[in-house]
Amino acid sequence: MEELNVSCAYKRQGGSGMTPIKLVLQQVLASKEKQKAMMIGLILTLTAITPLCGLLFQCGCDWPWSGLVSHCNYYQKHATHSCPWCASMITGVLSVGLAIGLSLGGAISRFIFLQRQHAMTEILLRVIFALILFALTATLTAALAANWQAYPLGIGHYYAY
């Protein structure tokens, strides 16, 4: 099992040259499986975030090849409600950033069930774990954003006043 011992590694480097942050990143991303899982997870989450927005808020957001945000109710002049993630920089950036960040953390996590597998199996398990974290976090933060902004469509339907 790999140890995350930054202070010893930093001392071995003579305390110069490599910063502690760079040493941590080298240790965390040491395996090719973690690197591949993180990149696949990043591509999938960045591709899926907008259609997930459309699914959660019923706002019109869609896949990148189907118009992305061009049909979002935020951009419609006469729409009675605006998508919570598009309308508020706070809820949009925090929700999406947290969901993607946690999914990437899941892809490179040190859980024992993700390690010591065949290389392809480990990558697949890491990507699945990352996507589950992504979907759960996005759904939870979408519910909070809809509730906070009194958004009555999609997931906000459950919190309508």
How many Å apart are CA 96 and CA 154, to the nearest integer? 17
Of residues 12 and 39, more confidence is placed in 39
Indicate if the pLDDT at residue 96 is higher than 60.
yes
Same domain, 2 and 46: no
Residue 135's Cβ-side half-sphere holds a number of Cα atoms within 13 Å equal to: 9
Number of structural domains, the chain?
2
% of residues, the chain, pLDDT over 70? 81
48-52, 114-118, 157-161: which is most confident: 48-52
**What mean pLDDT do residues 89-114 have?**
86
pLDDT band, very low/low/confident/very high, at 1 (cuts 50, 70, 90): very low
pTM: 0.79
How many Å apart are CA 136 and CA 150, to the nearest integer? 21
Q: What is the pLDDT of residue 31?
A: 80
Same domain, 9 and 40: no
Same domain, 24 and 71: no
pLDDT band, very low/low/confident/very high, at 15 (cuts 50, 70, 90): low
Same domain, 20 and 58: no
Same domain, 99 and 124: yes
Indicate if the pLDDT at residue 2 is higher than 50.
no
Indicate if the pLDDT at residue 100 is higher than 80.
yes
Same domain, 69 and 95: yes
Same domain, 64 and 1: no
Same domain, 24 and 63: no
Same domain, 76 and 86: yes
How many Å apart are CA 75 and CA 80, to the nearest integer? 11
Same domain, 12 and 76: no
Residue-range definition of the domain harbouring residue 19: 1-30
108 neighbors 81 (Cβ within 8 angstroms): no
Helix 89-107 vs helix 32-57: crossing angle, to nearest 10? 150
| Model confidence pLDDT, tens digit, residues 24-72 | 667 767 788 888 999 999 999 999 999 999 999 999 999 999 999 999 9
Indicate if the pLDDT at residue 6 is higher than 60.
no
